[in-house]
Amino acid sequence: MHDVTRDLSEAVATSGVQTGLCTVFISHTSASLTIQEGADPDARRDLEDFLARLVPEGDPLYTHTAEGPDDMPSHIRSALTATSLSIPIANGRMALGTWQHVFLWEHRRRGSSRHVFVHVLGTS
Amino acid sequence: MHDVTRDLSEAVATSGVQTGLCTVFISHTSASLTIQEGADPDARRDLEDFLARLVPEGDPLYTHTAEGPDDMPSHIRSALTATSLSIPIANGRMALGTWQHVFLWEHRRRGSSRHVFVHVLGTS
Amino acid sequence: MHDVTRDLSEAVATSGVQTGLCTVFISHTSASLTIQEGADPDARRDLEDFLARLVPEGDPLYTHTAEGPDDMPSHIRSALTATSLSIPIANGRMALGTWQHVFLWEHRRRGSSRHVFVHVLGTS
């Protein structure tokens, strides 16, 4: 899980929008987005471990295995989390709660370069 | 699961928007949002029971345990459901299906006060 | 899983929006939306099989059973996937990744007619 909150905050600040909506979209099927506890790295590790156990590698159920043992679980983990998130903007900032950070969740063992789109709308 | 449909409907009606989009965002990491069957309380109880079994308290996997046995499961349950929802507005009302109600899903045993942001845009 | 990417692409093209946001919403509680691998049908089958095993029919946990054995699992499967998705529009097209297709995920054995709302906003 990679914290992208600062990048998003900068995009919102640059836009000059005071009241509006920030939509985040990841253009991949083996990585996803989530808003989670940003303070304690243990919480993130538990999340990763839980999802890895829930959707394990090497499950005999999988038939789509040509791209490696971490490929099919990465699709399922993506489907169970979020591909898009919409966050209100108030007073020029994302209205995130005290503990909320936005994470790009890489589901492959070795992710390649990832792209996230940020769409900001509103009034300045 | 707390039904917040009426609150959202009132926010949309107050806005005067006839055609547009209503985005709902919960600013917490231990409670989430879902759109589900609103008619039968049994369906909600089954949903709650299923998620409680899928992501149980007391799982030895958890290391983030300082805030109590219901804390880490609440984060995971949030990650597996929704933090934001976007609902189209048509004819001045949310375009919810016949059975769809919007719920705030409290994942802690004893939730504190919760905040939900509602962003409405469109043309009146 | 039914591929609805082409329908969405046509809606976006018809709108004339060049830069903006496309929000997709399904007005049902027993079918959902997901963005997933569109190239290999095996990946979709694995997704369907995984979710069917994770949320099986006939689970003795269910009390909401009056509408058939596939009803309660369909609600839970919907809650674990997405009811709304927001996709940025750039250069007049949805900014989907190379492998991303948008699917309507029917969770009942025999779905009836389904409705999806598409909301497009932006500048032309």
Note whether B47 contacts C78, CB cutoff 8 Å. no
Q: What is the distance in angstroms between the CA of the first residue and the CA of the last residue of chain C? A: 32
Helix (H) or strand (E) holding B32: strand B31-37
> Tens digit of pLDDT for each residue in C64-75?
999 999 999 999
Residues of A in contact with C85 (CB under 8 A): 83-84
The per-residue pLDDT for B94 is: 98
Strand order of the β-sheet with C84-90 is C93-94, C84-90, C19-26, C116-123
Touching subunits of C (3+ CB pairs, under 8 Å) are A, B
Residue type, C55: V
From first to last of its 124 residues, what are the pLDDT tens digits of chain A? Answer: 999 999 999 999 999 999 999 999 999 999 999 999 999 999 999 999 999 999 999 999 999 999 999 999 999 999 999 999 999 999 999 999 999 999 999 999 987 899 999 999 999 9
Q: Is C91 on the interface with B (CB under 8 A)?
A: no
C118 touches chain A (CB under 8 A): no
In whole angstroms, what is the distance from residue B26 CA to residue B33 CA?
A: 7
- Report pLDDT for C69: 96
CA distances from B78 to A82, B84, B106, B124, C71 (A): 11, 11, 9, 34, 23
Q: What percentage of residues in chain B have a pLDDT greater than 70? A: 100
C97-116: average pLDDT? 95
Closest Cα in chain A to C46: A62
Chain B CB within 8 Å of residue C19 CB? no
Predicted confidence band at B16 (pLDDT cuts at 50, 70, 90)?
A: very high
Interface of A with C in 38-67 (CB under 8 A): 54-55, 59, 61-64
Which among A45, A47, A95 has CB closest to B117?
A95
Q: Answer yes or no: do A86 and B55 touch at CB < 8 A.
A: no
Alpha-carbon distances of B22 from A88, B86, C44, C71, rounded to whole Å: 11, 6, 31, 28
B66 pLDDT band, cuts 50/70/90, is very high
At residue B111, the pLDDT reads: 75
Average pLDDT over residues B78-105: 98
From B25's Cα to the closest Cα of chain C, the distance in A is 13
Domains, chain C, in order of start with CATH, read 2-123 (2.60.120.460)
